[in-house]
A and B are shown apart, each in its own frame.
Chain A
Amino acid sequence: MMAAAKTTPPVAIRIDDLCRHYRMGEALIRAVDGISFEAQAGEFIALLGASGSGKSSLLNLVAGLDRPTSGTVVVQGCNLAELSREQLAKHRLHTVGMVFQSFNLVPSMNLLENVELPLRFAEVNRSRREGMVKNALDRVGLSARIRHRPAELSGGEQQRAALARALINQPRILLADEPTGNLDSCTGTEILNFIREFNDSLGMTVVMVTHESALAERYAKRMIFLADGKVVNDQPNPAAESALSRGGLR
């Protein structure tokens, strides 16, 4: 009776027999090779695996940065394979937010301009933009560095700014490609605390690529292991809940 009363959260991402193959000279590279899984809304999934296992390629397919060779990626009910280039840009603008290992802030712009950039693409009214950017930077503790350029900031600060930029258009899904890869462990933890907080407080679905299983175990609610473009293990991680409830987020 209890199981029947419990409502299943809607599916945020559905991946079905997804392949991404490409040629490099004579060789056929199978970066993603028949992956299928579903991610419920609000899940925090860690994609783990060795270098070249297909984690980032899979993330790019979910982000709509790349198109699959075959199979389907349905994100928030929308089959990305059927979208035009223009519609995929809209998907990246409104449905997903991305953070990268190398932060990928525009070096010639200060933090305000960097975080404002997605608002420009979304054609948000100029009068509303500065307030929105300040709120987003305040949320990641960077309101004092608003006029600084990326080169004037630490790696952790840059990644926090990238997080603010990823979330400025209030996407339902956050895609993080090794967000702690260029950070020391202390700063990495700080970033993951932010990501987990957004996952919990905003109900965002998070898909994070990492090869640090210790961090994944601590933060992700589900861990998917990839090797040679295939899923080799897909397991829930109840330990993350208890670890975080014991230690708190920060």
Chain B
Amino acid sequence: MKGYDVTELALRNLRESLLRNSLTTIGISVGVASLVAMLALGIGLQQLAGRRLEKSGLFDTVVVTSRRDLRSFSREQEQNGPSPAESPSLTETARQKFQALPNVAEAYPDIRFITELRYQDKPHLTMVSGLPFSAKNNEAFEGLQGRFFSSDSAAEVILQKAFAEELLGKKQNASDESVNVAELAKPLLGGELTMRYAERTATPDTAQPSPGKAAGETVAGASYSVVSHEQKLIIVGVCDLDPDSMRGQLRARLFVPLKLAQNLHVMQPSDLRDTTNLVGGMPTYTTVEVRVKSPKYVPDVEDAIKKMGFNTFSIVDATKNLRRFFAVLDLFLGIFGSLALAVASIGIVNTLVMAILERRREIGIMKAIGASDADVRGLFFAEAGAMGIFGGALGVALGWTIGRVINFGTNVYLKRQHFPPEEIWSVPWWLVIGAIAFSIVVSLLSGLYPAGRAAKLDPVQALRYE
């Protein structure tokens, strides 16, 4: 029998016992829905954790320092490559080279300095850090009160909550979770801070013979003067961030836009060292942070930077272990989800065995007029397969709906607890196709026994049956 005839006959047979077949199909769909729901939850949680790690910026960043900075990251790095004195400095040119490497999202200098700030004429000493504009998406700024910087060079400032407390003259208690950042921010937002800092100004006449030196002796490298300056800053945000738990530019209590921090030419610790080496007015950096597009690219980028003669540091890609954990979790969730489908498959066997009993005579007639064993087997298989397709499609829709409802409920709860909404439920296209395919396979396997039994039916006995 041709495929379309088998399909047509199977569908008309299913229509003949509509109620029973519908109930069986619903049984399958409940099984598929439970499978989809479980796996969608696993995938959703995995994606949530992945997003969190990605946003933390811990695993997609390579920290680069010059070998000239003798506080290098490992003995191995010290022993390989050029000696510190022959090593390149971490200049703007080097940063641009890092930026141009494949799979690098951005490379920016780590500009941090301790300086004095005045708020309502009261001095405060703190660590200031320049933040790249991309930090806007960092999870650390998710609970930000107020707003992020309006541009990369705006004279604006974001405060860490403990520093905000200090400005308001409250008792500092950074570890206290009950600190209401919104309440802290209210009086501060729009307020003005005055930052006093030491600006490094390059002197134009570098590499000139020094009048006090003997002939042939020159001043090697740059020279500069240090001038005290003031900068007015508007408070635009207060963030709920514990500076001790973070790394890099986030280990500060006050943040300014990176471009602004660069333009201020604040005296950096490396300036003094590099005075003996460089570099016609070009800024050098203590640290450059290179953010790659995905944690998996970190080793390649790190290698490329090491080959340029710099020291690098990165945290081992923890997402690898995370993926392994979630693969196991998905497996277990899938097994639990499949239990319902296994129960449903017994329903299919039951329905088809009942169909054989009911249609025993019909099978006998079909065999008497020329149906082969394969035709009869194919027909029952097609019926099982059709139930699998309908059950699978219905189950995916049901599972998706359950997911949306639970997601909605979770977000209502999160909102009440003052947390941002989360997508803990994810049904990717491969899960849709996979679940329907799995449902068909399970249905066909369930149809194996009934179809074989129908095919082997003795037509003489079947025709006698009333």
Contact = CB atoms under 8 A, between A and B. Distances in A.
Contacts of A93: 369-371
A93 B366 CA distance: 10
- Identify whether the interface residues of B are mostly helix, strand, loop, or mixed: helix
B372 A121 contact: yes
Given A120-B9, A123-B1, A126-B4, A166 B460 contact: no
Nearest to A168: B369
Nearest to B9: A120
Contacts of B362: 106, 108
A90 B372 contact: yes
B365 interface: yes
A204 B410 CA distance: 77
B292 to A, nearest CB: 60
B365 A104 contact: yes
- Identify whether the interface residues of A are mostly helix, strand, loop, or mixed: helix
Interface in B409-466: 459-460, 463
A50 interface: no
B459 to A, nearest CB: 5
Contacts of B460: 60, 65-66
Contacts of A63: 368
Nearest to A175: B368
A120 B361 CA distance: 19
Contact of B370 (A109, A122, A126): A122
Given A106-B362, A126-B4, A118 B373 contact: no
A146 to B, nearest CB: 17
Interface in B166-194: none
A92 B1 contact: no
Contact of A89 (B12, B370, B463): B370
B242 to A, nearest CB: 73
B463 A121 contact: no
Contacts of A108: 12-13, 16, 362
A110 B168 CA distance: 89
A121 B371 contact: yes
B304 interface: no
B16 A92 contact: no
Contact of A65 (B4, B9, B374, B459): B459
A89 B372 contact: yes
B5 interface: yes
Interface string B1-40: 1101100010011001000000000000000000000000
B272 to A, nearest CB: 91
Contacts of B463: 65, 100, 104
B367 A92 contact: yes
Interface in A86-145: 86, 89-90, 92-94, 97-98, 100, 104-106, 108-109, 117-118, 120-123, 126
Contacts of B367: 65, 89, 92
B359 to A, nearest CB: 9
Contacts of A222: none
A85 interface: yes
A66, A117, A123 interface centre (most CB from chain B within 10 Å): A117
Interface in A59-76: 60, 63, 65-66
Given A100-B463, A104-B463, A126-B4, A121 B365 contact: no
Nearest to A106: B362
A70 B463 CA distance: 23
Nearest to B5: A120
A118 B369 CA distance: 6
Given A65-B459, A66-B460, A100-B463, A117 B369 contact: yes
B169 to A, nearest CB: 88
A11 B16 CA distance: 44
A176 to B, nearest CB: 13
Contacts of A122: 370
B78 interface: no
Nearest to A113: B12
A169 interface: yes
A26 B185 CA distance: 99
Nearest to B17: A108
Contacts of A100: 368, 463
Interface in B350-380: 361-362, 364-375
A92 B368 contact: yes
Contacts of A109: 12
Contact of A104 (B2, B9, B16, B368): B368
A123 B1 CA distance: 5
A94 B375 CA distance: 15
Contacts of A169: 370
A169 B13 CA distance: 24
A19 to B, nearest CB: 16
Contact of B369 (A66, A90, A92): A92
A221 interface: no
A230 interface: no
Contacts of B1: 120-121, 123
A63 B370 CA distance: 10
Contacts of B12: 108-109
B372 A86 contact: yes
A65 B369 contact: no
Contacts of A160: none
B370 A166 contact: no
The 3 closest A-B pairs by CB, nearest first: A93-B370, A89-B372, A120-B5
Interface of A: 60, 63, 65-66, 85-86, 89-90, 92-94, 97-98, 100, 104-106, 108-109, 117-118, 120-123, 126, 165-166, 169
Given A120-B5, A121-B371, A123-B2, 4 more contacts: A85-B372, A92-B370, A104-B361, A104-B364
5 contacts: A65-B367, A66-B460, A106-B366, A121-B370, A123-B1
